[in-house]
Every structure is written in structure tokens, then in C-alpha cells.
Amino acid sequence: MIMEKTSWEILSEILKKEVESSNYSLLHISISLGIDKTTLDRYLSADFSGPEIYVKNHLAKLKSYLNIEEDLYKLYKEGVKEVYNEPEIEKKPKERKYEGYLVPVLLLLISILVFVVSLNLFFKVFNAPILKLRALDEYIMIDNKKVREVELDVGVYNVSGPGILETIDKQLKRILMDNYQVVIKWEK
């Protein structure tokens, strides 16, 4: 029965071959790269157990120092899967979660609603007359015109007949004179 070599065994063979062809002793390589000699012995006997960050660093140093072309880290990772039976995890694209957008969208909608309502109120006030004048009797005369009710803006008006003045803030004032003048103007 022929057993196939593991990735760590292949990695170990590559390192052995390169160390032998380099004409450097294992001690010399250990001192030059700052890797413990017993760790190098373990790597040459296909034992790459230990923290991945150290093994990765050591393999990168060995690859550079010995001018190795093979991807040592890839072989190491494949060996980790073989030794520890780690299943290949397929990276799925992240699903977009819209829960994080709910609050900003709701705030935006509320802001738009408040803006529309305030704009509506602004135009109601802007277009509202400053004063309304209503007749107490059947009609009153304003600038020689008979009216029952009239909206007044800035200006001077000659009025004949009793009436009720209603201001923009809904205050009422009763005027019982027969002839009077209503003056509406803006002041600072």
C-alpha cells in the first residue's frame, strides 16, 4: 500500500534539500536567521506544530535566505488542514444588512415630513391677511365699495360703518364708529 506524502512532508523535503545544497550547517542557518536550532530540526522532520505566526515568519526567513521558489506557506497551510482536518471554508460574500440603515432612513423621512409641514405653515402665515374686517350690520363701505367681509394688507383704508377687526393672531376688536380710517403698516 503506497501512502501519499502529506504537505508537511513535502515541505520538510524541500527544506532538507535546500539546506543540504546551501553548504551551511543547521547551526549557522539557525544563528543567521534567529530561529532556534531545535525548531529547525523539527521543521526538517516534518513537524510544523506551533503558533502559526511563528511558523509563517520562520518559513518566510528560510525562503528568502535559501532562495526557495516554492510557496512554503501554502504548503504549510495545506498541511495544517490535513493534520487538523480543518474543512475548507468557502468565503461567502457578506450579505448586506439593512438594520443599520433603518434609523438614518427614519430620521430622514421624519425630517422631510417636518420640513413639508413647516413649509406649509410658513405659506399659510405668509399668505394670511394682516387684518380681516367684518360688517356688524349687513355691510360696510371700504373705499366706496360695499362689502360684508374683507381681508386687509398693508395700506390705508377709509371705512364707513361699524365692524369687527380680526388680527392675524385671531384677536378681535369691535369698532362702533360710522366713519374711520384703518392704517396698516410695518414698523421696526
- Scanning the structure block, which residue is given the C-alpha cell 405653515? 121
Distance CA 21, CA 18 (A): 5
Per-residue pLDDT tens digits of the chain, which is 188 residues long: 566 788 888 888 998 998 888 888 888 988 989 999 999 899 889 888 888 899 999 999 999 988 888 888 888 888 888 877 755 556 666 666 666 788 888 999 999 999 999 999 998 877 777 788 899 888 899 988 999 998 888 889 999 989 998 888 888 888 888 888 888 887 77
Looking up cell 405659506, which residue turns up? 123
Identity of the amino acid at 109: L
Q: Give the type of residue at 146.
A: K
Write down the domain spans for the chain.
7-84, 131-184
pTM: 0.44
How would DSSP label each residue in 3-30? PPPPHHHHHHHHHHHHHHHHT--HHHHH
Specify the CATH class of 7-84 in words: mainly alpha
Q: What are phi and psi of 146, to 5 degrees?
A: -85, 130
Q: Is residue 161 within 8 Å of residue 140, measured between CB atoms?
A: yes
